[in-house]
Amino acid sequence: MFEAIAFYLFAALTIVMFTITVMTSQALYALTAMAAGMIFISAFFFILGADFLGAIQIIVYTGAVMAIYAFGMMFFDTTRNVIEKRSNPRFVVVLGALAAVLVVFIVLAPIVTTNLNANYPIDLAVGNSQAIGMVLFTKYLVPFELAAVMLLVAMIAGIVLAGKKMDKSLTLMTEEDIALMHDSFTHEATQEEAH
C-alpha cells in the first residue's frame, strides 16, 4: 500500500520535473528542475531495495554532475531566454516513430521472456551495499578498473579543455618561453580589468 503511494507520488513528481526541464526556455529553471528530478529518481532506487545505487545517484548526479553544470553555466549567458529555431518537422516525425517502435521491443523483452535465471542472485542475508561490493569486486572487477581509467581520462580532459593555458606543458618549455607566456598572461588580465 505504502509502496504504491510512494511509487505514484514520485512517478508524478519525476515526470513533472523532467517535463519542465525539457520544455522551459530558461536555462536556470531547467537546471533546478533536473536536480529535483534526480533526487526523486533516487527514491525509486530506495523503494526497489537498491540502497547503494540510491545513495550513489544522490552523490554523483545532484552532487557532482549538477555542480559541473552549474559551474559550466557561469561561462554562458544564462539570463536571456533560450531561442531555438524549429525546422524540418518530417525528420522529427520519422525519428519519433522509429524510436517508438524500438521502445516497444525494449519494454516487451523483459515481460515476454519467462525462463530467465539469475546470474548473481540477490542474497537477503547480507545488506545491499555489502552484496554490491562482493559482486563488483569479483565478477565485475575488470569493468570497474576500466571505468576508473575512463573517469581519470575524462577528468584530465575536462581540466585541459576548460582551464586557461592548460594545453601548454611548463616542464617542456624553456625559462624564456615561460616568462614570455607569463607576461602575455598578466597583460591580458590587465586588459580585461581595463574593460
Pick out residues in 17-46 that bind other proteins (CB under 8 A). 18-19, 21-22, 27, 30-31, 34, 37-38, 41, 44-45
The reply on whether position 9 binds other proteins by CB under 8 A is: no
Using DSSP's 3-state secondary structure scheme, residue 92 falls into helix
Q: Per-residue contact track with other proteins, 165 to 194, x per CB under 8 A?
A: ------------------------------
User: Under rule CB under 8 A, which residues in 87-126 are in contact with other proteins?
Assistant: 92, 95-96, 99, 103, 107, 110-111, 116, 118-122
40 residue type, one letter: F
- How many residues of this chain interact with other proteins, rule: CB under 8 A? 74
CA–CA dist 22, 9 (Å, integer):
20
Residue 31 contacts residue 73 (beta carbons within 8 Å): yes
Of these, 141, 153, 178, 189, which contacts other proteins (CB under 8 A)?
Answer: 153
Residue 7 contacts residue 17 (beta carbons within 8 Å): no
Of these, 53, 55, 58, 181, which contacts other proteins (CB under 8 A)?
Answer: 53
Give the containing element (helix H, strand E) for 110.
helix 89-112
Of these, 28, 126, 137, 143, which contacts other proteins (CB under 8 A)?
Answer: 143
Beta-carbon contacts of 173 under 8 Å, excluding residues fewer than 6 positions away, are 181
The reply on whether position 136 binds other proteins by CB under 8 A is: yes
DSSP annotation of 24: -
Nearer to other proteins (CB atom), residue 75 or residue 193: 75
- What angle, rounded to 10 degrees, do the helices at 2-23 and 27-47 form? 160
Candidate segments 160-168, 175-183, 185-193, binder of other proteins by CB under 8 A: 160-168
